[in-house]
Structure 1
Amino acid sequence: MSYLALYRVHRPQRFEEVVGQDKIVKALQNALREDRLSHAYLFAGPRGTGKTSIAKIVAKAVNCESPKEGEPCNQCASCRDINNGTFMDVVEIDAASNRGIDEMRDLREKVRILPAQGKRKVYIIDEVHMLTTEAFNALLKTLEEPPSHVIFILATTEPQRIPATIKSRCQIYYFRRLTLEEIAGRLKKVSEAYGMDWEEDALYLVARRANGGLRDALSIMDQVYAYKGERITKQDVLDVLGVVDDVFLAHLLDAVLSRDMKRVIEMLGQALNEGKEAQQLARETVFYLRDLLLYKHLGDKADFYVVTGDNVHFLEEQKGKVDQDALLKALRIMMNSVERLKFSEGNRFLLEMAFLEMMDILSSSPGKLVEGEDEMTGDKKPASGKSKTPVKEKARDEGEKVLWQKILAGVKEKKIPTHALLSQGKFIGIKDDVIYIGFKKGYRFHKERMEERGNREILEEVLAKIFKKPLEIQFIFLDDDQYNDIMVKKAIEYFGEDVVQIRD
């Protein structure tokens, strides 16, 4: 027989084997024992939490030849056939690939036929939210007045997309995410059954990364087992998942807090050169900042996502160096970077810029890295003896920044890919109902895509809403020799040389 994935081998076959859904299991067992099953159920919850598994156990229980206290025996012919997928009266339908009205009309005709093998016909419709509106309407009448020999079990990860008319005809059970301890406990039993030797930290790392889904946890375990064999360490799991550990993240944040730009860039380069993805690094940083925020307020009672027990001392050292507002701003920066990195080719550059921006926010002692040198570009400052920006210029810069962020936010609401393109540009200014937006030469692709009709129209709509009038849009190239660019010269004439400049 061919190899079966761990999550298939260890799928619950009886109610007593289900992990974490005790209230749902008890309610269904009572209904089965007292023969008070409803004609339609809606199982809603995150992926990998037992929806389809419990649906199959219900199907076995109603067709079992010798059930006991609502549990199927798993020994009779009906139970064995359902386990093998050969039972004619239990029909599984994937709504993602059978989502049209024709399929639902066909189902409506077939439910009239009496069971061929068992006592009841059970239809399990997975990812039911994928059905079209017409298909839902075709299913509606059958759900309202089904034949007495039919039970419908609908499963979905997105209950908000199910029409109210469908929900009102079903008993709804909401499946919860499994706790860390519940997943780790099941993984430990599986590892013992296969003779695997897992470090405890490795098991808990897999449990955390499963995000409350036991199926995901078993899939990760299967993947690591195939890669490493029976003896598995925490580092093996990190290698397979392509993530960095909490010690690396702690040292990276230390470098950020101490404003050690060189160290930050070196550490990011090291991780990327080892094959880590920029988006994953940004996501891991989000998780670490989240753990730090919770630890700052909850202490040892915090439920950590990436930080392990042995490394809590890093959080203890760092919590006093940042305040809550700065931490929340840093979280927003990194979360936005995760989204932007999905659509950008300059992944390393964006990641570095996000960390440098976070450095300014989290640093407890703002200032220049080197006396007389610009922090972001490294350009020498004129020795004028005045280091502060004049009040008017600073106010103007702040106003432009707020306006640009408002424009970006409006575009993001309409279309995220367009926002990812536009966010690489720089707001230059507005003159005579023309808005000028500059792109460095390395972002030719972003400029050209923004000039396409669809993206331009989205930006025009946002601008018209903000300024209460239509604006013409001019996209300009900016480079180190910007004075050779005719369009930039024109912008300089309008706005002044101090406005049209390259800012990383």
Structure 2
Amino acid sequence: MSYLALYRAWRPRCFSEVVGQEQTVIALRNAIRTGRISHAYLFSGPRGTGKTSIAKIIAKAVNCESLEDGEPCNQCSSCIDINHGNFMDVIEIDAASNRGIDEIRDLREKIRVLPAQGKTKVYIIDEVHMLTMEAFNALLKTIEEPPESVIFILATTEPQKIPATIRSRCQSYQFRRLTAGEITNRLEEVARDGGMNIDQDALEIISRRANGGLRDALGMLDQVYSFKGENISRGDILDVLGLVDDRYLARLMEAVFSRDTAEIINMLGTALNEGKEASQLARETALYIRDLLLFSAVGREGEFGVAGPESYPFMEKRKDLSRDKLLKALRILMDTGEKLKFSEGQRFLLEIGFLEMAALFASPAEARANTDQKAPISKSSMEKKENKEKEVKNEARDLLWGKILSGVKEKKIPTHALLSQGKLLGMKDDVIYIGYKKGYKFHKEKMEEKANREILAEVLQDIAGKLVEVEFIFLDDDQYNDIIVKKAIELFGAEVVEIKD
């Protein structure tokens, strides 16, 4: 039998095996035991917290031939087929790749067909927030009054994007992030079963970095186990996953608090030379600052993201730092992380970000001395600085646009020809804006067609590492009446959005 990833091998097969989500599990199990099963459910919450797993348990329970106390037996033919993914009446749909009205119309036609293998047809629609508004409207009546033999289970990580008309027709359950303790307990069980000899603090690192997602934690353990074998240490976890430990972060932030420029540059250089990613360093340090803020409020009882016992003495020493300054430092790191996504000057940007943080923690006397030593900034100097910043932004945007065009060209040359007449305006909140001059209405409309949009979406996902939405904007040099254009101007500035001949 082929190897199963740990998160698949350890997927819960009944309600009693689910980690966390106690209220949701009890409510659903009672509903199944008493026969009060809703026709539609909406499961929302962070990734890897059990939404799809519980959906499959419900699918087994409503089709189980030997249901006992609300639990599927996992022994009958229906349960076995569902566990193996061979059950015809459990249909899983990925809304990210089946998001259009045509797919939903096809679903509506198939719903009318009676179950072929079991008692109830169960439709599990994952990432349902990715459906278009037209698709949601087409689904609306079907979800409100489906056939008696059909149950819908909608799962999403972004419930705010679900129309209220859909939410009101479903029973909603919010899945919470798991605690580090809950994740550690399950990892210990997995390690024992797999014969792994793994340090306790190594498990705790995985639990903290999983950010409440058990699937992510099992994926990390699986990755380290594949590389290191049965004997796994704390250092193995950090090396394989490209993480930096809390001791390093504590010493790095001590250099920042002490404004030790040489030590900051040296420590960043060492980490980067060892293969650590600049964006990962920025993210880990941001988590450490968050932990320091939490430590100053609740002490060692907090649930920390990266900080462990070895960094507590450093945090104790700095717990009286100004929270306002720490929040400003956090914003600097978050801004730096955003810039790192679209720049090749990774090391330079990272160093600038840390040095900006160090400047925050200068004493009042040092700050006054630095202010007194500064020469008056002339208007021309300010203009040069602003122009330089614009040039850097434009270079980063042009570099990203070149990557997008190149990726699209590899997939389909006609789509590249249509897209190349546009211009990348910028990106905000996982939405990328592309503008067309007023003479290229045909190109814009063709790019909005499903086939061309899907090709662009695949390229954007490859580049960004996540799903990115696209807004195509038709620009008029003299007129900005369109709501989307106004939004783009608000986000990126008129000098970026306006495209002049």
TM-score normalised by length of structure 2 = 0.77
8 A Cα contact 1:295 1:302, kept in partner = yes
1:240-279 to 2 correspondence within 5 Å? 240-279=240-279
Q: Secondary structure at the match of 2:2?
A: coil
Q: Which amino acid aligns with 1:103?
A: E
Q: Which amino acid aligns with 1:337?
A: T
In structure 2, stretches of 5+ residues that fail to align are 402-421, 427-434, 436-474, 478-485
Partner residue in 2 for 1:295:
295
Identity of aligned residues (%): 59
Partner residue in 1 for 2:41:
41
Structure 1 Cα separation of the partners of residues 42 and 235 of structure 2: 40
Partner residue in 2 for 1:438:
388
Q: Which amino acid aligns with 1:347?
A: Q
Task: Say if 1:248 and 1:141 are closer, same or farther in 2 by CA, change over 3 A.
Answer: same
In the TM superposition, what is the alpha-carbon distance from 1:8 to its structure 2 partner?
0.4
In angstroms, what is the RMSD of aligned CA positions? Answer: 3.3
Structure 2 Cα separation of the partners of residues 80 and 29 of structure 1: 20
Task: Say if 1:211 and 1:464 are closer, same or farther in 2 by CA, change over 3 A.
Answer: closer
Q: Which amino acid aligns with 1:224?
A: V
In the TM superposition, what is the alpha-carbon distance from 1:63 to its structure 2 partner?
0.8
1:55-204 to 2 correspondence within 5 Å? 55-204=55-204
In the TM superposition, what is the alpha-carbon distance from 1:256 to its structure 2 partner?
1.7
Q: Which amino acid aligns with 1:428?
A: E
8 A Cα contact 2:123 2:151, kept in partner = yes
Q: Secondary structure at the match of 2:383?
A: strand
Task: Say if 1:99 and 1:239 are closer, same or farther in 2 by CA, change over 3 A.
Answer: same
8 A Cα contact 1:427 1:438, kept in partner = no
The Cα offsets for residues 229-253 of structure 1, whole Å up to 9 and x where unpaired, read as 1111111111122121111111111
Task: Say if 1:364 and 1:303 are closer, same or farther in 2 by CA, change over 3 A.
Answer: farther
Structure 2 Cα separation of the partners of residues 447 and 25 of structure 1: 47
Q: Secondary structure at the match of 1:215?
A: helix
Q: Which amino acid aligns with 1:38?
A: S
Task: Say if 1:470 and 1:142 are closer, same or farther in 2 by CA, change over 3 A.
Answer: closer
1:351 equivalent in alignment to 2:350: yes
The Cα offsets for residues 77-136 of structure 1, whole Å up to 9 and x where unpaired, read as 111111111111111111122222222122112211222221111111111111122221
Task: Say if 1:436 and 1:200 are closer, same or farther in 2 by CA, change over 3 A.
Answer: closer
Structure 2 Cα separation of the partners of residues 462 and 178 of structure 1: 37
In the TM superposition, what is the alpha-carbon distance from 1:297 to its structure 2 partner?
2.3
Q: Secondary structure at the match of 2:211?
A: coil
Task: Say if 1:27 and 1:112 are closer, same or farther in 2 by CA, change over 3 A.
Answer: same
Task: Say if 1:314 and 1:101 are closer, same or farther in 2 by CA, change over 3 A.
Answer: same
Structure 2 Cα separation of the partners of residues 151 and 441 of structure 1: 55
The Cα offsets for residues 55-89 of structure 1, whole Å up to 9 and x where unpaired, read as 11111111111111100111111111111111111
In the TM superposition, what is the alpha-carbon distance from 1:440 to its structure 2 partner?
10
Task: Say if 1:80 and 1:314 are closer, same or farther in 2 by CA, change over 3 A.
Answer: same
Structure 1 Cα separation of the partners of residues 394 and 495 of structure 2: 26
Task: Say if 1:470 and 1:21 are closer, same or farther in 2 by CA, change over 3 A.
Answer: closer
In the TM superposition, what is the alpha-carbon distance from 1:465 to its structure 2 partner?
7.9
Q: Which amino acid aligns with 1:438?
A: K
Task: Say if 1:455 and 1:159 are closer, same or farther in 2 by CA, change over 3 A.
Answer: closer
1:216-365 to 2 correspondence within 5 Å? 216-320=216-320, 322-364=321-363
Which has the larger Rg?
1
Structure 2 Cα separation of the partners of residues 440 and 117 of structure 1: 62
Q: Secondary structure at the match of 1:43?
A: strand
Task: Say if 1:350 and 1:117 are closer, same or farther in 2 by CA, change over 3 A.
Answer: same
In the TM superposition, what is the alpha-carbon distance from 1:329 to its structure 2 partner?
1.2
Structure 2 Cα separation of the partners of residues 443 and 118 of structure 1: 58
Structure 2 Cα separation of the partners of residues 174 and 442 of structure 1: 42
8 A Cα contact 2:342 2:396, kept in partner = no
TM-score normalised by length of structure 1 = 0.76
8 A Cα contact 1:327 1:362, kept in partner = no
The Cα offsets for residues 155-206 of structure 1, whole Å up to 9 and x where unpaired, read as 1111111111111111111111111111111010000000111111110111
Structure 1 Cα separation of the partners of residues 362 and 87 of structure 2: 64
Structure 1 Cα separation of the partners of residues 7 and 347 of structure 2: 36
8 A Cα contact 2:66 2:73, kept in partner = yes
Q: Which amino acid aligns with 2:349?
A: L
1:367 equivalent in alignment to 2:366: yes
8 A Cα contact 1:61 1:71, kept in partner = yes
8 A Cα contact 1:330 1:362, kept in partner = no
Q: Secondary structure at the match of 1:367?
A: helix
Partner residue in 2 for 1:408:
none
Partner residue in 1 for 2:23:
23
Q: Which amino acid aligns with 2:336?
A: S
Q: Which amino acid aligns with 2:103?
A: E
